[in-house]
Amino acid sequence: ARHHGGKMILRIEDTDRTRFVENAQENLIKMLEWAGVEIDEGPSQGGEAGPYVQSERTELYVKYANELLSSGKAYYAFDTAEELDAMRKRLQESKQGDYRYDRANMRNSLTLGEEKTKELIANGEAHVIRMYVPENTDISFKDIIRGDVTIHSSEVDDQILIKSDGFPTYHLANVVDDHFMGITHVIRGEEWLSSTPKHCLLYQAFGWEQPEFAHLPLLLNKNKTKLSKRDGSVAVEEFKEKYLRDAFVNFVALLGWNPSADREIYSMQELIDLFQLDKVNKAGAVFDMQKLDWFQFQYLQKLSPEEMGDILKVELEAQGYPSFDKEWLNKVAYCLRERVHFIAEIPAFAPYFFTDNLEFEDEFMAKHWNEDKKALITPLVDEYRKVSEWKHDPLNAATKAYCEAKGIKMKEIMNPLRLMLTGKSGGASMFGTMELIGKDKCLERMSSFIAQR
């Protein structure tokens, strides 16, 4: 929509009252805002075509269902769930693979007649309104992504339009709302492709102009089945907690569509400018977390130290650490940015910045600590004590001078030093790390390590 200067309208499709979830609407809106989707019209912002919540529009749907009833394009049905089950069982046993509503042999206004129908309704008998699908015709529509699609009417069920609770089904509500809300393009997942003929039939029955259809390829799990909240942890809320917005948007935008051959990183604005519906792929795309993490890393590198510090601060608080100086946190986060994919990993990756209770990696210790190393390093503590400006360059110079005096390579010193000060085999530049840990703590850690090991 943004590419063509269109509006973003949010419509809440809450016609299934049995699946009503508290706060679902609020969460959905928050999630869309996070993803950078700006809503022009919707339940919160209002607009000419409101209300934007389907459960508040039932009168409209009933009105149009009645219109279909009077033109013979819909009818009442009184069948119970048990009767429908029996029908499907019967059909399954006779003709194979044909479970559609058998309107000629069920209890509906077609078989019962007008009078009996009126009587049943007057008696308060539960009933639905079904669409009358014409016999033996081809229903064709044009899909922007898939080209012409044709489905025979014998494959289309007499879809329920109004349920016995008086609420419409998606099919009716969607067509009526799209018409009155001026929707020009229906862009949705491929799972809707096979029910699109029902919608076409409704547009025809009302005499309304049909919108353009575009059925997007599905997002798939690793096993290539439809990605759903049920079989993977793909709730966008979870991504919202973990990933940078732009990284997530960039990754998802490139699933099923790609503007060029040799570039991966695009801003939201570039995506909007470049997007072309008819260039969208037809085949489903596997949602590859590893590549998402790569995007995350790329976007993490673009953050300012302040922004990294902000995230780190929140993360440390969430993990129950005491508070630290923000400027210092900025520096810590910035110096570790190339070693992690997520700022949230920092407390576990480099705990030595936030606690004095160091844990020493056994393997690293075994490899880089022995009596020789101890003898080599011990005098260095005093050398460091003399360093007045506890910063990367002076520390580097002091260490270099010490190594030259001893006639050894820097390498001999660096690993034991890292071991004593961090306990970890990996991390950022040693002298930069020492600068951030601070002189007092560094000297203390070294002496106590030497005393104990």
Options 4, 224, 374, 385; binder of RNA; rule CB under 7 A:
224
Work out whether 230 is an interface residue with RNA (CB under 7 A): no
Hey, which residues between 120 and 139 contact RNA (CB under 7 A)? 126, 128
Nearer to RNA, 286 or 326 (CB): 286
The CA distances from residue 406 to 373, 402, 413, in Å, are 13, 6, 11
For the chain, how are helix, strand and coil distributed in percent, rounded to 5?
55, 10, 35
Selected range binding RNA among 32-40, 235-243, 283-291, 371-379, rule: CB under 7 A: 283-291
Least separation, in Å, of the C-beta of 265 and RNA?
9
Strand arrangement, sheet containing 147-152: 147-152, 138-143, 212-216, 185-189
Residue span 65-94 as binding mask against RNA, x where in contact by CB under 7 A, dash where not: --------------xxx--x---x------
Cβ 198 to RNA shortest distance, Å: 9
Closer to RNA at the Cβ: 411 or 451? 411
Q: Which long-range contacts (CB under 8 A, 24 or more apart) does 372-375 make?
A: 373/412, 373/416, 374/450, 374/453
The answer to whether 145 and 277 have CB atoms below 8 angstroms apart is yes
Sole window of 102-110, 257-265, 378-386, 437-445 interacting with RNA (rule: CB under 7 A)? 257-265
Q: How far is the CB of 382 from RNA (least distance, A)?
A: 20
229 given a catalytic annotation: yes
**CA atoms of 73 and 71, how far apart (whole Å):** 6
Q: How far is the CB of 81 from RNA (least distance, A)?
A: 6
DSSP assigned state of 43: T
Q: How many binding residues for RNA (CB under 7 A)?
A: 82
**SS3 category, 183:** coil
Name the residue among 62, 22, 60, 50 with its Cα closest to residue 165.
62
User: Is 214 an interacting residue with respect to RNA (CB under 7 A)?
Assistant: no
Is there a contact between 245 and 236 (Cβ–Cβ < 8 Å)? Answer: no
Q: How far is the CB of 286 from RNA (least distance, A)?
A: 3
Per the residue annotation, which of 89, 116, 222, 229 is the catalytic one?
229
Choose the binding region for RNA from 113-121, 160-168, 201-209, 267-275 (rule: CB under 7 A): 160-168
Q: Which of 245, 291, 391, 453 binds RNA (CB under 7 A)?
A: 291
* Stretch in the footprint of RNA (CB under 7 A) among 9-17, 25-33, 103-111, 235-243: 9-17
Among candidates 60, 59, 205, which has minimal Cα distance to 131?
205
How many Å apart are CA 227 and CA 422, to the nearest integer?
42
Q: Which of residues 310-369 bind RNA (CB under 7 A)?
A: 338-339
CA distance linking residue 16 with residue 33, whole number of Å: 25
Catalytic residues: 229
